[in-house]
Amino acid sequence: MEKYYWYKNCPACNQGRLIITQDITNERLYLHCEECEMGWLNPSDADENKNGFLTLLVDFETKNPDFELIQKNNWSPVAKYLFEE
Query: CB neighbours (10 Å) of residue 49?
Result: 12
What domain range is 8 assigned to? 3-38+54-84
Say whether pTM exceeds 0.85.
Answer: yes
List Cα–Cα distances, 63 to 4, 13, 44, 45, in angstroms.
Answer: 11, 23, 22, 22
Name the domain count of the chain.
1
Within-domain flag for 45: no
Amino acid at 71: Q
Greatest CA separation for the chain: 33
Within-domain flag for 44: no
Rounded Cα distance between 70 and 20, Å, is 8
Within-domain flag for 46: no
Tell me the pLDDT of the chain (85 aa) as tens digits: 999 999 999 999 999 999 999 999 999 999 999 999 999 999 999 999 999 999 999 999 999 999 999 999 999 999 999 999 9
